Homo-oligomer: A and B are copies of this chain.
């Protein structure tokens, strides 16, 4: 299956991104000649893995008939100081709110995503130490 992105220089360091028919800007911070008109391109890796595994887990929980009121994912990563500056760790926090959510079912959904379904996790695993935790609130 083929996918593509087009980006075009739109400012000093900013690019307009056209992805899946949606447009947004990416940019560097002022320290690196940018104007912060959008997120940093490397940090899109965080949004990519968060969204990929988040959609997996939502989808699997629905199939398991696990109801919830709110679902969010936070991914925190660390970047090396030496070139090529790359993420070497990512920690994923899955947070669910709702009554009577069985943690074992959420754990199963997360494990299925991390080990079997999430193609972004698969791509990142060789160079990034990926860990996770699950938080359930009433």
Which secondary structure characterizes the binding site on chain A? mixed
Contact call A44/B72, Cβ cutoff below 8 A: no
Query: Separation in Å of the A116 CB from the closest CB of chain B?
Result: 6
Copies in the complex: 2
> Which residues on B sit within 8 Å (CB–CB) of A78?
1-3
Contact call B55/A28, Cβ cutoff below 8 A: yes
Range, interface on chain A: 35 or more
> Which residues on B sit within 8 Å (CB–CB) of A87?
3, 119, 123
Show the binding face of A for B, using Cβ within 8 Å. Answer: 1-9, 13, 15, 17, 19-22, 24, 26, 28, 32-33, 36, 38-52, 54-55, 58-59, 70-81, 83-87, 116-124, 126-128
